[in-house]
């Protein structure tokens, strides 16, 4: 009788212990365990770089990824820059950028900057040949001022 009570108590404790975890935590743990180790080709990271300051403090990592045949520029959660008017995300041809005075022929604008911190992503148009660009920058169009930029290492897989 005492053995049955002990087994029942241990089983109850185990069930209650597992059910005490929030459901999102259980599913996250299960997802980590069942996640395949091989990349299925749906998303692939091609280029990465780290932002450096120019006119304003700018930091964080940036990647170029392929997802289902489309390319995106992705700022990670550590991205930070100052606020400013008319901020844009651009790809530039040179490895280093001047603080100001960019020439229109040297860059392509991807989009207005979505926010000054945190994760964000920008579509790269199909007609943009990444082999022609060395950096990504946060740039103020109104004052032609580079807030910060990141070098994108060249890789043959990212070129189109």
At 15-48, the pLDDT tens digits run 434 344 343 333 333 333 223 333 455 667 666 8
Average pLDDT of 135-143?
A: 97
Residues 6+ apart with CB under 8 A from 133: 91, 92, 93, 108, 152
**Torsional class of 23: left (φ above 0), alpha (ψ -120 to 50), beta (otherwise):** alpha
Least confident range of 39-43, 97-101, 130-134: 39-43
Whole-number pLDDT of residue 41: 55
3-state secondary structure of 5: helix
| Segment holding 2, helix H or strand E | helix 2-19
Q: Which residue has the higher pLDDT, 123 or 31?
A: 123
3-state secondary structure of 120: strand
Per-residue pLDDT band for 149 (boundaries 50, 70, 90) equals: very high
């Amino acid at each position: 009788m005492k053995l049955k009570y002990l087994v029942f108590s241990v089983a109850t404790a185990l069930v209650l212990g597992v059910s005490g975890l929030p459901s999102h935590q259980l599913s996250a743990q299960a997802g980590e365990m069942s996640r395949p180790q091989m990349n299925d080709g749906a998303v692939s990271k091609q280029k990465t770089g780290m932002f450096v300051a120019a006119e304003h403090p700018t930091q964080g990592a940036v990647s170029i990824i392929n997802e289902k045949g489309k390319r995106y520029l992705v700022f990670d959660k550590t991205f930070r820059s100052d606020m400013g008017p008319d901020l844009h995300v651009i790809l530039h041809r040179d490895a280093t950028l001047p603080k100001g005075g960019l020439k229109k022929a040297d860059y392509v604008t991807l989009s207005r900057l979505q926010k000054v911190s945190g994760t964000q992503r920008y579509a790269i148009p199909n007609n943009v040949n990444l082999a022609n660009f060395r950096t990504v920058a946060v740039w103020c169009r109104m004052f032609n001022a580079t807030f910060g930029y990141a070098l994108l290492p060249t890789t043959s897989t990212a070129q189109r």
